[in-house]
Amino acid sequence: MDGYLYDGPMDDDVNKRLLLGFDAKNNLLEIMYNIINENCINVFHAMKARRTFLTLLNQNQ
């Protein structure tokens, strides 16, 4: 996802990251992943973004 709006660590686990961004149909998605190494990530969660995470979008402005 090239045009993401937020990418940062989750509060409860520094190895768990959250990415917020739009898909090709302009649906706002939340994607959670771990960084395995510089060439590999493990995506373990992806769904329509929940309101809980929308406040994070204001932190990048």
Tens-place pLDDT, residues 2-56: 679 999 998 878 789 999 999 999 999 999 999 999 999 999 999 999 999 988 8
Considering the domain boundaries, does residue 60 fall inside one? no
Q: Give me the pLDDT at residue 11, please.
A: 81
Please state the domain count of the chain: 1
pTM: 0.82
Considering the domain boundaries, does residue 28 fall inside one? yes
Considering the domain boundaries, does residue 36 fall inside one? yes
Q: Give me the pLDDT at residue 12, please.
A: 78
Q: Give me the pLDDT at residue 3, please.
A: 76
Question: How far is Cα of residue 18 from the mean position of the Cα atoms in its chain?
Answer: 3
Which element (helix H / strand E) includes 36?
A: strand 28-37
- Cα separation, 61 vs 43, in Å, equals 26
Considering the domain boundaries, does residue 57 fall inside one? no
Considering the domain boundaries, does residue 12 fall inside one? yes
- Assess whether pLDDT exceeds 70 at residue 58: yes
- Assess whether pLDDT exceeds 80 at residue 60: no
- Cα separation, 22 vs 1, in Å, equals 8
Domain residues for 18? 4-51
Query: Which tokens hold the place of 24?
Result: 């090709």
Q: Does residue 16 contact residue 8 with C-beta atoms inside 8 Å?
A: no
